[in-house]
Structure 1
Amino acid sequence: MSFKIAIIGAGSVGFTKKLFTDILCVPEFKDIEFALTDVSEHNLQMIKAILDRIVEANRLPTRVTATTDRRKALEGARYVISCVRVGGLEAYADDIRIPLKYGIDQCVGDTICAGGILYGQRNIPVILDFCKDIREVAETNVKFLNYANPMAMNTWAAIEYGKVDTVGLCHGVQHGAEQIAEVLGAKSTQELDYVCSGINHQTWFIDLRLNGRPINKDELVAAFEAHPVYSRQEKLRIDVLKRFGVYSTESNGHLSEYLPWYRKRPDEITRWIDMSDWIHGETGGYLRYSTETRNWFETEYPQFLEAASKPIDREKRSNEHASHILEALETNRVYRGHFNVKNNGVITNLPQDAIIESPGFVDRFGINMAAGITLPEACAATCIASINVQRMSVHAAISGDIDLLKLAVLHDPLVGAVSTPEEVWQMVDEMVVAQAAWLPQYAHAVPAARERLSTSKVKTREWAGAARRSVRSIEELRAEKAALKQAG
């Protein structure tokens, strides 16, 4: 087979390498072309060198090109994969820093909450630019695979306004299933059957079976509470399981910021999180992790390049959906996964226009969703609160309506639990002014926002958050990795 895959935001080096090697685990795909594009020439050349080394080491005819000219990369592409982070770590730092001044403590801030909503405002105009180019220069029946957050908002915009055949992809379901299999004593996730449905980052394991035997809430709660690690790391997640009756896919830290109950006061935050790793609820944890990862890669690049000389091990193909979807579409080997698509009746008690994440099957005919799923009422209520925020956020990003943007932020569950309307109005003004370089649709609103900030009497504070850690130096990271290697 010979076709072209374009990867936008290919400078996301580690993830691009994973997608690349996964796809090349499919024997029929050895003769395809990967067209890499990114706004950073530096990052592009680093990842191209790694991928070229993989091709050379495995003696493959695979072609790898790299260009900052996005349209050139998209020309003739059958598949387009997006891994972009618009504004990079600079804008992301403001997504965490500014809301903290108003008492809003986020762990990740990339889905909803104040940070995720502004992230969507930066991404959506760019996503629509991608879609325009895709419609004009890619293959006629091109499929757009979006990995970029905020997943639901980006996918919503691409489908509704970009008019491109789009599917959103995430690995939260797979990671949740791995945890459940482990606490139940399964040898692997192959022994676990499940239906997981909801919206991205708020999906719920509504049917669980271990070797065909149904698993009920009480058994699952007991299994998690008996686990020596997860009982500490997933306290909030286990509490939600007890109250809702079903387990959430998302990590302790992620889930905590989508709900109005657990991060509303500093003492509550420290009660429910675990500081053994960023993902369990640390203030700005993913920002710290992302910063350290970038610094580590820049410093240790020669090691990454050397590691690329090893043969591809097909047994280590990851559970990321992209390679399996492409394999099913091109070879008709059927694949079952969980995909982000427009609802259109798939989940009976969520809005029709929402972007849902739910089970589906892929073959030559495309992605075929399992319809007629009904969520438990509490799960549906929680999802609907987020969907309403997502819808307003997408419409604000399209229209450049700053008042609608403020209403979207005001209706966010965690923001509403912490901040007053006056604080929300000022916070959004501050974030729009700080991120104006990445928000062209709000250019007309920036002068008035800046003027309001100059006369505002809403008080703020400089606050690091309830559980903030400093970015570690390369030397500290080396020492930690060495200690872990010695202990293990």
Structure 2
Amino acid sequence: MSFKIAIIGAGSVGFTKKLFTDILCVPEFKDIEFALTDISEHNLGMIKAILDRIVEANKLPTKVTATTDRRKALEGARYVISCVRVGGLEAYADDIRIPLKYGIDQCVGDTICAGGILYGQRNIPVILDFCKDIREVADTGAKFLNYANPMAMNTWAAIEYGKVDTVGLCHGVQHGAAQIAEVLGARSPGELDYVCSGINHQTWFIELRLNGRPIGKDELIAAFEAHPVYSKQEKLRIDVLKRFGVYSTESNGHLSEYLPWYRKRPDEITRWIDMSDWIHGETGGYLRYSTETRNWFETEYPQFLEAASKPIDPAKRSNEHASHILEALETNRVYRGHFNVKNNGVIANLPQDAIIESPGFVDRFGINMAAGITLPEACAATCMASINVQRMSVHAAIAGDIDLLKLAVLHDPLVGAVSTPEEVWQMVDEMVVAEAAWLPQYAHAVPAAKERLAKSKVKTREWAGAARRSVRSIEELRAEKAALKQAG
């Protein structure tokens, strides 16, 4: 087979390498072309050198090109994969820092909540540019695979306004299933069968079977509470399991941002999170992790390049959906996964226009969703609160409507539990001004926002959050890595 895959945001070096090696685990794909594109020539150079080394080491005919000219990369592409972070870590830092001044403590801040909503405002204009290029220069009927957050908002904009065949992809379901399989004592994750449905980062394991045997709520609770690690790291998820009756896909820290009950007071935050790793609830945890990862990669790049000389091992193919979807579409080997698509009746008790994450099957005919799912009422209610925020956020981003943007932030569950309307209005003004370089649709609103900020009497505070850790230096990371290696 010979076709072209374009990867936008290919400068996300580690993730691009994973996608690349996964795809080349499919024997029929050795003759394809990868076209890498990014706004950073430096990152493009690093990732191309790594992928070229992989191709050379495995004696493959695979072609790899790299360019900052996105349209050139997309020319003739059958598949387009996006893993961009618009605004980079600079804008992301404001997504965390500014809401903290108003008492809003986020662990990740990239899906909803104040940070996720502003992240969506930065992404959506760029997503629509991608879609325009795909319509104009990519292969007819090209499929757009979006890995970038905020997943639901980006996918919603691409489908509704970009008019491109789009699917959103995440790995939360796989991670949650692996946890469940482990606590139930499965010998491998494949022994667990499940139906998991909802919206991205609020997906629910509504049916579980281990080797064909149904698993009920009480057995699952007992299994998690008996686990020596997850009983400490996933306290909030276990509490939600007890109250809702089903387990959520999302990590302890991420889930805490979507629910208005666990992060609204500093003393409550520390009660429900775990500081053993960022993903369990640390304030600004993902920002710290991303900063450290970037610094580590820049310093340790020669080692990453050396590792690229090893043969590709198909047994180590990851469970990221992209390679499996492409394999099913091109070879007709059927793949079952969980995909972010427009609802259109798949989940009966969620809105038709919402972007859902639910089971589907892929073959030559495309992605075929399993319809007729009804979520438990509490799960649907929690999803609905986020869907309403997502819808307003998408519409605000499309129109450049700062008033609608403020209403979207006001209706966010955690923001509403912490902040007053006056605080929300000022916070949004402050975030739009701080991130103006990445918000072209709000350029007309920035001068008035600056004037309101100059006159505002709403009080803020400088607050690091309830559970903040400092970014570790390369030397500290290296020492910790060496200690872990020695210990085990």
Shift of 1:124: 0.1
Secondary structure at 2:231's aligned position in 1?
Answer: helix
Which residue in the other structure is 1:38 paired with?
Answer: 38
Which residue in the other structure is 2:384 paired with?
Answer: 384
What does the per-residue CA deviation read over 1:297-324, in whole Å, with 9 as the maximum and x for residues that have no partner?
0000000000000000000000000000
Which residue in the other structure is 2:228 paired with?
Answer: 228
Shift of 1:141: 1.2
Which residue in the other structure is 2:400 paired with?
Answer: 400
- 2-structure distance, mates of 1:147, 1:292: 21
Which residue in the other structure is 1:205 paired with?
Answer: 205
- 1-structure distance, mates of 2:195, 2:45: 41
Secondary structure at 2:258's aligned position in 1?
Answer: coil
- 1-structure distance, mates of 2:73, 2:250: 34
Matched, 1:113 2:119: no
Matched, 1:79 2:79: yes
TM-score, L = length of structure 1: 1.00
Shift of 1:93: 0.1
- 1-structure distance, mates of 2:339, 2:435: 31
What does the per-residue CA deviation read over 1:324-356, in whole Å, with 9 as the maximum and x for residues that have no partner?
000000000000000000000000000000000
Shift of 1:16: 0.1
What does the per-residue CA deviation read over 1:244-286, in whole Å, with 9 as the maximum and x for residues that have no partner?
0000000000000000000000000000000000000000000
- 2-structure distance, mates of 1:271, 1:229: 16
User: Matched residues, percent identical?
Assistant: 95
Shift of 1:207: 0.2
Which residue in the other structure is 1:450 paired with?
Answer: 450
Shift of 1:176: 0.1
- 1-structure distance, mates of 2:372, 2:296: 46
Secondary structure at 1:103's aligned position in 2?
Answer: coil
Q: Hey, which bits of structure 1, 4+ residues long, moved more than 3 A?
A: none
Shift of 1:396: 0.2
- What's the Cα RMSD here? 0.2
What does the per-residue CA deviation read over 1:58-112, in whole Å, with 9 as the maximum and x for residues that have no partner?
0000000000000000000000000000000000000000000000000000000
- 2-structure distance, mates of 1:349, 1:261: 23
TM-score, L = length of structure 2: 1.00
Q: When the two structures are aligned, how many residues end up with a matched partner?
A: 488
- 2-structure distance, mates of 1:307, 1:140: 37
- 2-structure distance, mates of 1:415, 1:190: 39
Structure 1 spans left out of the alignment, 5+ residues:
none
Shift of 1:128: 0.1
- 1-structure distance, mates of 2:263, 2:11: 33
Shift of 1:461: 0.1
- 1-structure distance, mates of 2:141, 2:115: 34
- 1-structure distance, mates of 2:403, 2:261: 26
Which residue in the other structure is 1:8 paired with?
Answer: 8
Which residue in the other structure is 2:243 paired with?
Answer: 243
- 2-structure distance, mates of 1:68, 1:3: 21
What does the per-residue CA deviation read over 1:362-395, in whole Å, with 9 as the maximum and x for residues that have no partner?
0000000000000000000000000000000000
- 1-structure distance, mates of 2:382, 2:204: 11
- 1-structure distance, mates of 2:450, 2:20: 44
- 2-structure distance, mates of 1:251, 1:129: 32
Secondary structure at 1:393's aligned position in 2?
Answer: helix
What does the per-residue CA deviation read over 1:427-482, in whole Å, with 9 as the maximum and x for residues that have no partner?
00000000000000000000000000000000000000000000000000000000
- 1-structure distance, mates of 2:188, 2:408: 41
- 2-structure distance, mates of 1:140, 1:383: 35
